[in-house]
Amino acid sequence: MESGIKFSSVIAGCMRLGEWGAKYDTDGYEKFIDGCLDLGVDNFDHADIYGGFSTEQEFGAVIKRRPDLKSKVKITTKCSIKFPCDNRPNYKSKFYDSTPEDIIKSVDNSLSYLNVDSIELLLLHRPDLLLDARAVADTFVELNKQGKVKYFGVSNYTTDQFDLLNSFYPLINNQLEVSLLHLDAFYNGTLNQCQKLDITPTAWSPLGGGTIFKDTQDEKALRIKEAAKDLMVTYNCNLSQLLLAWLAQHPTGIRPLLGTSKVSRVEEAVKAVNIKMTRADWYLMLEASRGHEIA
């Protein structure tokens, strides 16, 4: 279910590579990129805002140093969120901007910062209540015609919001918060919509933000950890791999967007999505998350 785009089995998230996480220098970025590519992971997920509008440029410094990587990496990036920071001192408050002018400006900036010729997938990062769907669709047509962006999608959109924009331009992705600790997409129609439209969703925070790995008193996390004990033995995997395998069972082929800056964790994730759980075990984990027997 990939509607033209070819996602790798997992997506390498770049949010925590720079200022908002590992603070890699150019060598650190290069090692991470090469490590992912060696594992067959060629989709790298960005957003213009990451690192306070700095991570794209830092990532692009590797591409400038290593032009051979330009044809190997597939870039997803996002636009439309604005917030005040050192790199954007003129912004007075957080807001969303999905006007044609801003989308075009953001794409041109991303291409320049990342040192790539085209963006594989452009996402509108958050729903903009002032979005003019027809104008955005016309902008997508123009960006595609110019060869700047191959595919378009959204992130965090409801089914109604997705339907509106999709009625003017075919979207190929909805990037969602979905995990065993965040089940909304299974029940609010979002994943059903993806299956109906033959869309592969990508899952941000697929491990639930890491809460489950901490010394937590969260009842849901504790139930999941308890239910996972025997299954980790059954499937010869660790807890994070079990959570990713659970997501990968869905018929839409959910692709987890990883938040790690460690290549070893990416390797674990690649192995995890090949684990085939039984339906009984899948529903056992769902029951643990919900805290009651399924109807």
The answer to whether 50 is a known catalytic residue is: yes
Helix (H, G, I), strand (E, B) or coil at 116: coil
Using CA atoms, how far apart are residues 175 and 122, in angstroms rounded to an integer? 11
Q: Where are the alpha helices (DSSP H) in 197-261?
A: 219-234, 239-248
- The answer to whether the Cα torsion of 50, 67, 271, 155 is positive or negative is positive
Question: What Å distances lie between residue 277 and 44, 96, 202, 250, CA to CA?
Answer: 27, 40, 20, 11
Catalytically annotated residue among 29, 50, 151, 157: 50
For the beta carbon of residue 27, count every other beta carbon within 10 angstroms: 10
Q: How many CA atoms lie less than 13 Å away from 229 in the CB half-sphere? A: 6
The residue written with tokens 């400006």 in the block is 105
- The answer to whether the Cα torsion of 126, 132, 137, 139 is positive or negative is negative
Judge whether 146 and 166 are in contact, CB under 8 Å.
Answer: no
Using CA atoms, how far apart are residues 225 and 59, in angstroms rounded to an integer? 36
| Catalytic positions | 50
